[in-house]
Amino acid sequence: MQKTVSLTVNGRPVSATVEGRTLLVQLLREQLGLTGTHVGCDTSQCGACVVHVDGEAVKSCTLLALQAEGRSVLTIEGVATGDTLHPMQEAFRNNHALQCGFCTPGMVMSALDLVKNNPNPTEREVREYLEGNLCRCTGYHTIVLAILEGAAVMRGEAPPANVHGAAAE
Amino acid sequence: MYEFNYHKPASLDEIANLLAANDEAKLLAGGMTLLPTLKQRLARPSDLIDLAAITSLRGITDAGDAIVIGAMTRHAEVNRSPVVKQGLPALAAMAGMIGDPAVRNRGTIGGSISNNDPAADYPSALVALNATVHTTKREIAADNFFTGMFETALEPAEIVTAVRFPKLQIANYQKFRNPASRYAIVGVFVARFPNAVRVAVTGAGPVVFRVPEMEAALTQNFSPDAIKDITIKEDGLNSDIHASAEYRAHLVGVMARRAVAACG
């Protein structure tokens, strides 16, 4: 059964023809070409597919495209402003918070969801919020540092010294 | 995933008609269990009926000595609700332990209890807190709602509309979780009412159950010591690659004592 779904993606209105069973992540990646959102496990556990729907982090592999009808979706491609990285992305870069980078889009989207609800999280709160985001290469140490730094910059504070001991540029 | 027809009706009447016309239809709440199930091709519904447009199923109401939570209210909303935090803090905390943040942004109380996964958290809260399930047809006491593994007292085409919880300050949920799935290997919810204590266990058996021996002991003396010699029989408990029945039986005692201790 083909249906038309209309939604806003990264501020842009889009319409597409999908099946009932088409997942939001399939619409984003395969029909809209937004391949920054990844599918890691396909079982709702790894968080590589996290996007925001109406400002809330959700797993786009566990949402039908038709459930996003009329909603506003933000993917990793919509986070930066032109060539200027978002402070959270910049913090991931500063802290070398990725190795292969596969989990990074989901990490950044979850981090932004955390900071929206809790602008000044503790390290423990960051670790707890990453419950649904799995990284299989670096461990979480620098990811947590990056999120603390990104949150600080988003609060308008000077970034703390990063993992390399230097203040972020 | 097998193909299905997707519907998003605007009223409960429309849903009733769709359910009546399609034997193989399923209701879609948050989808946090149903969609993974469909992706694994473990179910093949002809139609999915999305409840998302039924706004009357959403929201948290302060009803004096009780709190009424609409079936489509998501775990994150229960976790953050000032009404729940104030009137029933143990429930707000429990909602914050379900799955992970992105799952809590989608998963709903109505979906969770209708699915009745043996390792889900909410069934223990409903039973320990003596909640009442409101449906499109009647009201069902939590003690009578959860009837077996993935089975409830719901009739075909009967839809959960809300859950009513009494307000209670002295209650606590302790969960020993599976770190991968984040489901409870064992979870124990303890609730201390003025004249009685209720203890409900999830994850350990095929369906949530109470522990009358612990309830009696805690009613006499509400302290972890009061239940330290009470052992749970492993007969009939779940046993899988994550934990043996013997281990789960042991965990029930540990989690119950922790929950009582956490009540302060």
On whether any CB of chain B is under 8 Å from the CB of A54, the answer is no
> What pLDDT does residue A161 have?
64
* A63 with B35: Cβ contact below 8 A: yes
B264/B4: higher pLDDT: B4
CB atoms within 10 A of CB B213: 13
User: Which element (helix H / strand E) includes B20?
Assistant: helix B12-21
pLDDT beyond 70 at A166: no
- CA dist list (Å): B238 to B120, B145, B208, B212: 14, 20, 12, 20
| pLDDT level of residue A164 (50, 70, 90 thresholds) | low
Confidence of residue A42 (pLDDT cuts 50, 70, 90): confident
Q: Does B10 touch chain A (CB under 8 A)?
A: no
The rounded distance, in Å, linking the Cα atoms of A108 and B50 is 29
pLDDT over 60 at B182, yes or no? yes
Average the pLDDT over A101-130 and give the result: 97
pLDDT tens across B16-33, in order?
999 999 989 999 999 999
What domains lie within chain B, and their CATH numbers?
5-50 (3.30.43.10), 55-166 (3.30.465.10), 171-263 (3.30.390.50)
Average pLDDT over all residues of chain A? 93
User: For residue A88, is pLDDT > 50?
Assistant: yes
Q: Which pLDDT value is given to residue A168?
A: 46
Interchain proximity A19–B3, CB inside 8 Å? yes
State percent of chain B over pLDDT 70: 100
Residue A56, C-beta contacts closer than 8 angstroms, at least 6 positions apart: A113, B76, B105
Token pair, residue B263, equals 């009540």
Min CA distance, B82 vs chain A (Å)?
14
CB proximity A115 to B under 8 Å: no
Give the pLDDT band (50/70/90) at residue A169: very low
Partner residue facing A132 (CB), from B1, B38, B99: B99
Partner-chain contact B76 A63, CB within 8 Å: no
* pLDDT above 80 (res A130): yes
Does A8 lie at the interface with B, CB-CB under 8 angstroms?
no
Over residues B34-48, the mean pLDDT reads 95
With CA atoms as reference, the chain B residue closest to A44 would be: B36
* Domains observed in chain A: 2-78 (3.10.20.30), 87-154 (1.10.150.120)
ipTM over 0.90: yes
Tens digit of pLDDT for each residue in B145-181?
999 999 999 998 999 999 999 999 999 999 999 988 8
Provide mean pLDDT across the span B40-49: 95
CB contact (8 A) between residue B36 and residue A62: yes
Q: Closest to B180 (Cβ–Cβ): which among A45, A113, A117?
A: A45
Distance between CA atoms of residues A50 and A69, nearest Å: 18
Distant-in-sequence, close-in-space partners of A94: CB < 8 Å, separation ≥ 6: A146, A149, A159, A162, A168, A169
Q: β-strand B197-202 against B132-135: which pairing, if any?
A: unpaired
